[in-house]
Amino acid sequence: MNTTVDDSVSEPVSEPVPAGRERSPAIAAGLSFLWPGLGQLFLGRRRAAAALAVPALLIAIVAAIQLGQGALWFAASLWDQTYFQVVAFAVVAFGVWRIVAVGHAFLSASAKRRPRRIELGFVGALVALILVMHGLFVAGAWAWYDTSVSIQNNDIFADPSTTPTAPSGTLGPTPVDTSSFVPFGITPSGSPTPTRPPNPNRITFLLIGSDFMTGRTHSLTDTLMLVSIDMSTEKVSFVSVPRDTSNFDLYYGGWVGPTFKINTLLNSAGTKYLRSPDPPMKTLENEIGFLVGVPVNYYAALDLNGFARMVDALGGIDIVNQRAINDPSTGIVMAPGPVHLDGATAMLYVRSRENGGSDYLRAARQQALLVALEHKVVSPAGLGQLGTLLSLAGKTIGTDFPLNTARNYVSAAQRVSSIESCVLGPPYSYHPDTSTTDGTWTSRLDMARVANLSVEMFGKDSRYYGQPGVVPAACGK
């Protein structure tokens, strides 16, 4: 019996791809440039397409998950060395994978004919573009990470040309006045007091503005601003301490005299006259925290001259001047209302203390200027100058905050619901008669009012909380 094979039931054959398309190395390479495996799929090589596309897809999914937590979170995460290394490796590996996909697609399509010169140039341009794209990303990520290293190693107060000198005024082991408030952890009898455990939801910085000016032999901390974030209540509090504050109790016992100013404390803490048990920066942190009533976790220091260069790099910043300024000492004249500041004018704006107001108004201007700077940095104009800003930041900013943990605080920072600020000028301080201070212009804190404000701002986190006579009161009350 004769049998015949019916070709109609044989295995179906896929519709052939036109020869012109099948042999186009440029198109195949271009498709795999867009995504690994697309060029192979175009050539009908499905297994190769899957082998190249799936790993790339997995990398894309992981990247989407990371970026899905926000650009700010991702940027902060790059300050973690391990995270940066993983990201850099992934970007480089993905770039190599794309080059492999482009090359494989090009060679596969060129198997049956020799590629033309223009096609070779095209695929070379694609490979170069991949190298540039991935190289720029890794270089940018490195610059961002390296800036964090510079910031944490940057001692903007270091001035090898000078040595600390003894400050004027009364210092040292004079008895502590225990009639109202006592230093951290010390009772009138000198024995330790039980302390409340720190609030894990609160993080507090001492923001310091350092100013080397002509005629000075050392740097003065002319800006002393406490910035505290309560992550549970989503509230940020700013408190500025006047630089001329004098005659204050020391957190470790004793007090400074009527002519000693707090803006010299950092420079003086390294001398035998102050007898601080802590290094200079920690002494300043502890002292400001002691006076305001909330422990300071970290410091962030800013070189004000570098700050001016950052303002210029941003093309200036816009603020609303609250009060007319006519200061012959600095030459700044400014009417109330909106004003655009370049770096030099911004420096005069935060330094002016004549006619434009006192140190208290200057501290308020400093707070406003910092907020305006933050807004400008995250604007399109600021992001466009990111490279310059990073270079300046590494030379201008110093901190002991572990930047590799910064991403843990991003979410809380983005949820901030309220910002309150206060300058410890009147009624929190007053100027004593200069006849009692050897002619030195100083300021003294009214610690009872400061205590009321501290409890209002920080609640149970304040060291003044629960002390007799303390009644919470908002700023200015």
User: What distance in Å separates the CA atoms of residue 338 and residue 342, rounded to the nearest whole number?
Assistant: 14
CA 190 from chain centre, in angstroms, equals 40
pLDDT at 243: 86
375 three-state secondary structure: helix
pLDDT above 70 for 450: yes
pLDDT recorded at residue 112: 76
Residue 214, pLDDT score: 41
Q: Is 55 exposed, middle or buried (0-12, 13-18, 19+ CB in 10 A)?
A: middle
Three-class DSSP category at 460: helix
Q: What is the rounded average pLDDT of the residues 458-471?
A: 94
User: What average pLDDT does the chain have?
Assistant: 80
pLDDT the model gives residue 185: 38
Tokens standing for residue 349: 């704006």
Residue 453 has pLDDT above 90, yes or no: yes
- Single out the residue of 442, 398, 402 nearest to residue 156, CA to CA: 398
The structural domains of the chain, with segments of one domain joined by +, span 18-153, 202-461
Cα 11 from Cα 5, distance rounded (Å)? 12
Report how far residue 215's alpha carbon sits from residue 381's, in angstroms, rounded to the nearest whole number. Answer: 36
Q: How confident is the model at residue 254 (pLDDT cuts 50, 70, 90)?
A: confident
Q: Read off the pLDDT of residues 383-440 as tens digits, 9 standing for 90 and up.
A: 667 677 777 778 888 888 999 998 888 887 778 778 888 989 889 999 888 888 888 8
The pLDDT of residue 472 is 95
Q: Assess contact for 455 and 472: CB atoms under 8 A.
A: yes
How distant, in Å, are the alpha carbons of 173, 181, 235, 419 from that of 415? Answer: 45, 35, 9, 11
CA gap 270, 275 in Å, rounded? 8
Q: Summarize the confidence of residues 151-179 as an average pLDDT.
A: 49
Q: How confident is the model at residue 382 (pLDDT cuts 50, 70, 90)?
A: low
Predicted model pTM = 0.74
What is the CA angle 157-163-166, rounded to 5? 105
Q: Tell me: the pLDDT tens digits for 56-77?
A: 999 999 999 999 988 889 988 9
pLDDT score of 181 more than 50: no
Q: Give φ, ψ of 57 to 5 degrees.
A: -65, -40
Q: Which CATH number fits domain 202-461: 3.40.50.300, 3.20.20.70, 3.40.630.190, 3.30.70.260?
A: 3.40.630.190
Pick from 179, 277, 294: nearest CA to 226: 294
Chain position carrying tokens 């790099």: 313
pLDDT (tens digit per residue) in 316-348? 888 888 888 887 777 788 888 888 888 888 887
Token look-up 């007053």 returns 430
